[in-house]
Structure 1
Amino acid sequence: MALILPVENKLPQFGNDCYIAPNATIVGDVQTGDECSFWFNSVIRGDVNFIKLGNKVNVQDGACIHCTYQKYGTTIGNNVSIGHHAIVHGCTLHDNVLIGMGAIVMDNVVVHSNTIIAAGAVVLENTVCEPGSIYAGVPAKKVKDISQELISGEINRIANNYVKYSSWFKKDGE
């Protein structure tokens, strides 16, 4: 059973039709939109500040979302995929963003819409990622503009697939 706990009298609040894997951990001041999914061993820790997620956000296996005490909450827009073992910390991700597997997004980063952070990238504190771009490397730098085909073909496809995947688990768990 998933671990959902209050912290300082703040209990996570979930939108409609969300999926939470049995070993996901979600604590504190966390608010989600609709059709979000939290996969195996994901950790969403709203203990020291807020975490707010829009609709159709998927937090894949082993990913961690946290925030910074008295400084930076974490805000995530709609249609966002956070890849396996990624770390998203005290930052803002706008709509239609893909955070690749193992990427790290640090405090006070802003990732604008229609942007991909490549697998393994490290986006350093205070970085502003331009909309419609791909960032890669350590430290992450813009490597190219993103095509409309990549936005609809990858970013949207992955977010929609995770809504579909979660339906399999919800159906089988009934």
Structure 2
Amino acid sequence: MPSETPADLLRRHPGAIIQPFKGVWPRIAEDAYVAPGAVVVGDVEIAAEASVWYGCVLRGDDHFIRVGPRSNIQDGTVIHVMLDAHPTIIGADVVVGHGVRMHGCTVEDGALVGIGAVVLDGAVIEGGAMLAAGAVLTPRKRIPAGQLWAGSPAKMMREVTAQEREFIAFDIRHYAGLARAHRDAAREVAAL
């Protein structure tokens, strides 16, 4: 990611709260989108074409947070870390639904975390896996690649279907287009 001044970073994301923690500023790719009202603090890296939506909080203070290319973090999600033990790492092409809570966990490429789900310390969602809406993935649990888990605590339900894999790919494309449109609208308002 190219270096830029904090003023440039703030100008690119009007209405978002982007601030350093202990001198470490978030690093946000030029074509990533952070919505107005989102909060991004400290050691957070948001890769190319990723999007962080309205009302999200990404707090990289006790450890780091990484959001991979084209991943979307939907409205009202809170992402934090576990002090000196577990960062939160989100791979490429990941869908994180509305109102998700993630704490010191890893979500690998092409996975989906359903609306309102909770993913706790040391948990891993492997590539192409899905955690259902409202599910709770307890500490240190691992969802193997290509499986759908649901419930509280989450348990394996079945394999992810071809239709569900297609939905994840569609959602990634859809949110990339939405991010471009919302970014343009936010900049238009900021220019008034």
The corresponding residue for 1:171 is 184
The corresponding residue for 1:63 is 77
The structure with more helix, counted as a fraction of residues: 2
Q: Tell me by how many angstroms 1:147 deviates.
A: 2.1
Q: Write the distance in 2 (CA, Å) between the matches of 1:147 and 1:135.
A: 13
| TM-score, normalised via structure 2 length | 0.87
Structure 1 residue 157 corresponds to structure 2 residue 170? yes
Q: Write the distance in 1 (CA, Å) between the matches of 2:167 and 2:129.
A: 11
1:26-49 per-residue CA deviation (whole Å, 9 max, x = no partner) reads 000001210011111000000110
The corresponding residue for 2:11 is none
Q: Write the distance in 1 (CA, Å) between the matches of 2:168 and 2:156.
A: 17
Q: Tell me by how many angstroms 1:149 deviates.
A: 3.1
Counterpart contact for 2:35–2:183, Cα < 8 Å: no
Q: Tell me the C-alpha RMSD between the 2 structures.
A: 0.9
Q: Write the distance in 2 (CA, Å) between the matches of 1:150 and 1:84.
A: 18
Matches within 5 A, 1:1-174: 1-151=15-165, 153-172=166-185, 173-174=187-188
Tell me which structure has the larger Cα radius of gyration.
Answer: 2
The corresponding residue for 2:5 is none
Q: Tell me by how many angstroms 1:150 deviates.
A: 1.8
Question: Could you say what secondary structure the match of 1:142 adopts?
Answer: strand
Question: Could you say what secondary structure the match of 1:17 adopts?
Answer: coil
Moved over 3 A (4+): none
What count of residue pairs does the alignment treat as equivalent? 173
| TM-score, normalised via structure 1 length | 0.96
